[in-house]
Amino acid sequence: MSKFVLTLATLTAAVALLGAEVQACTRAVYHGPDGRNITGRNMDFKDAMVSNFWVFPRGMKRNGAAGSRSLEWTSKFGSLAVSGYDISTVDGMNEAGLNASLLWLNATEFPKDDGKTPRMSLSIWAQFYLDQFATVSEAVEYTRSHPVQVVSGEVPGRPGSLAPLHLTLSDASGDSAVLEWIGGKLSIHHDRKYQVVTNDPPYDSQLANQKYWSAVDPLNFLPGSGRSEDRYLRAGFYINAVTQSDDPRISAAAVFSVIRNASVPYGVSLPESPNLSTTRWRVVADQKGMLFYGESATSPNIFWVDLKKLDFSEGAPVRKLDLGVDMNRILTGEASGQFVTEKPFDFMAVE
């Protein structure tokens, strides 16, 4: 190992040990051949999490759950949503192949109420995009021209602690966007090249960090800590270094291998830091094959849902795949037949 790389490795390790907060959750978009675009993400959290799969049909009437000025809409697209505690949508893919994922961002500062702009609870922010848009470009264009204030709520199990989250979008073409509330204003990064997103610092700083590290050959050295910046660099290199294949099985395996590499080992957490923690589950969305994979950190098997087998027609029932705490229900193979009709959960309302 060269003196430069040895020194760099030592500094990286020291920073990792000194950092009081290491953020978790990683999302990466795979640009495979013949339009095989796939999005994978880790859900990392200190506390056990109830996350189930929900089938929401077209034609559902929605409310932003944020008081008298809540935005209202009717869903144009059906979606497979992943719930957080059955009070919010934290991930999912709609029938057009749009994926939405919420990740932790400590630097988040939501806007103060101006008394006139339509509002929306953070709990339904991701679901709004799954309901309304087929592509990232459509979503970004609408968002830029139709201001909405997103209102945060408490982190479940942590009274008084508001959830600071940013939103990532990707679509079947491989396009990508990152939406962040910084200093009370919405920042949008939109480009196909924005394949990887982690947590703090804000995304413009993540891009600057990537540029800094571009001088180091990743085949010789990649930072290995659980810090957000280090996971970003590893995932950013590996998502384009792994096998590039249009075979749905091989390409999904490649994406799983990348996000597992960016996972936090089970049981590793920092005290009082819900945003640095154990990987609870992983999901991978094949946006060409319309396959949505799930993997629990505590289950021996991968399962998946073929969205082409789901009924998203207007008037179809809402259906739920009960997965238990940390998705610990043991399933294997294609699971679309395991959903049962269920009353839709209520998105957490905020004022």
Known catalytic residue at 25: yes
CA angle 193, 197, 198 (to 5 degrees): 160
CB burial of 70-101 (b: ≥16 within 10 Å; e: otherwise) equals bbeeebbbbbbbbbbbbbbbbbbbbbbbbbbb
Q: Are 70 and 111 in contact (CB under 8 A)?
A: no
Q: Rounded to an integer, what distance in angstroms lies between the CA atom of residue 56 and that of residue 74? A: 12
**SS3 assignment, position 27:** strand
Structure-token pair, residue 45 = 């959290």
DSSP state of 302: E
Question: How would DSSP label each residue in 170-183?
Answer: E-TT--EEEEEEET
Cα separation, 179 vs 187, in Å, equals: 6
> Which residue is catalytic, options 12, 23, 24, 25?
25
Largest Cα–Cα distance in the chain? 65
Exposed, middle or buried by CB within 10 Å (0-12, 13-18, 19+), for 119?
buried
**What are the catalytic residues?**
25
